[in-house]
Every structure is written in C-alpha cells, then in structure tokens.
Structure 1
Amino acid sequence: MADREGTVYFCEKNGYLYAVDRNGSEKWSDKTDKGYIYSGFALAADGKAYIAQYASPNNLVAFDNAGAKSVVKTIGDQVMSPVTIGPDRRLYYGRKNDLAGMVDAWEIGCGPLSGEWPMRGCNDQGTNSLK
C-alpha cells in the first residue's frame, strides 16, 4: 500500500515492518516486535498506517509517516487478518478468541485514505480496475 507521497508500507514473513519511499529507499523499519506475520497495513485519511500484531501483546498500532509508533488498542487475542478501514471510520480485523474466529472493529475517527494506491486492489473498491 502506498500513501500520497508514494511511500509503500509492508511487512515481511519474519514479522518486520517497512516503509520504502518512491525511489525504493528504506524510509523506516520496525523490527522490535516481530508480531506482524499475518498482518497488512491499512492507510487512513489521518495520514497514519494502521496494522495489528499477531503475537503478544496483540495490539492495534499506528505508524506516522516518519515511523513513530503508537498503540491504538490492546486486543488481547491473536489477529488473524490484515486490517481494513470502513467508510464508517472503523478499523476492522479478524481475531482468534479461544477456538473460534471473530470479527471486531475499533473507531479510529477517520476513513480510509483515498488516492492512487491506498489499499489492496489498488482503488477504493478493491477491484484492481483503473476505471
């Protein structure tokens, strides 16, 4: 996913997070938790990149464009999906509670970033369509 400045946000299999600028240079990385294995970023209109930790402490976190991390909410369960921001200004995610899967949401106060490539599917509808 890329923000309006062309910064691309992603995580790799070992759970580390990266932001790479439009020229392919690393802008920042977070290698402190290694807890983002099943995660994916969602970019919000407030300029933050949101993601959930799969491993303890199982938080929803936000990163600003410079890589400063803040905890949004402690979930307490494993998050088993990327996060998605709905038009209702909530951050949606799937979590594992005991043996069952659950869907949950948290109010973040803003909607998804709209633009060239803010989310999976490359557009607001997630269709990969350029139309």
Structure 2
Amino acid sequence: VGSTAASLLGDVAAATAEGFALDPATVTKMPPGGSVDVTVTLRPAAKKRLGVVQAEVPVTVTGGPAMVLVLRALVTLPELRLSPAALDFGKDMLAGQERTVSLQLHNVAPVPARWEKA
C-alpha cells in the first residue's frame, strides 16, 4: 500500500470555449482514499449554435492511466406553436360589439417557455 498522493492535470480550455466551467478547475493533489467534488456548469452563449455541445477534458494521474471526461449537452430554445396561426374576428362586427376568439399556445420544445410583460 503506497502513501504517494496522486496529482491530476486537466486542460479545461476546450471545455471553457464551449461554455463549460469546472470548479475547481484544477486538482493538484489527492491523498490516498481522498475525494474531491467538482462542480461542472454549462452556460452556453446566447448567440451560439443550437444542438449538441461537447468538450473533452483530459485527466492525467501521474503514474496512472490517462482518462477523458466527456461533457455533453443538447442546447435548445423554447419553441411555441400557435393554433390557429391567425385569429379572424369576422367581417360583420358592429362598433361596440364584443367577440371572443380562443388561441392555444403549445411549447413543443423540451425546455420551459417563459415570457414577461414588455
């Protein structure tokens, strides 16, 4: 049983470029039997392409095998469908009359749709 601490080195530049952040970004020492919690956050740029975002973070343990941590996400936006696409209140409305027409909003995306009063 050895008592040498492991040293982890990982280049997070590719992950950072894709919007991922690791905290802590580096782990330099870990004692035998030890562990470190790493929080990974994704904040994709608002104007960046939609779809799969992926980055690989190499993890090298001195004297041990090289590993790769794969970070992957599907970046999407809310998408509303209106039904019907246009509202027709008819052409026979008299001034002072009231007519109600219903509209259904349907979010077809896998993420929540939110809006605020402008």
TM normalised by structure 2 equals 0.26
Higher relative contact order (CA 8 A, sep 6+): 2
- Which structure has the larger Rg over C-alpha atoms? 2
TM normalised by structure 1 equals 0.24
- The structure in which a higher percent of residues are helix is 2
- The structure in which a higher percent of residues are strand is 1
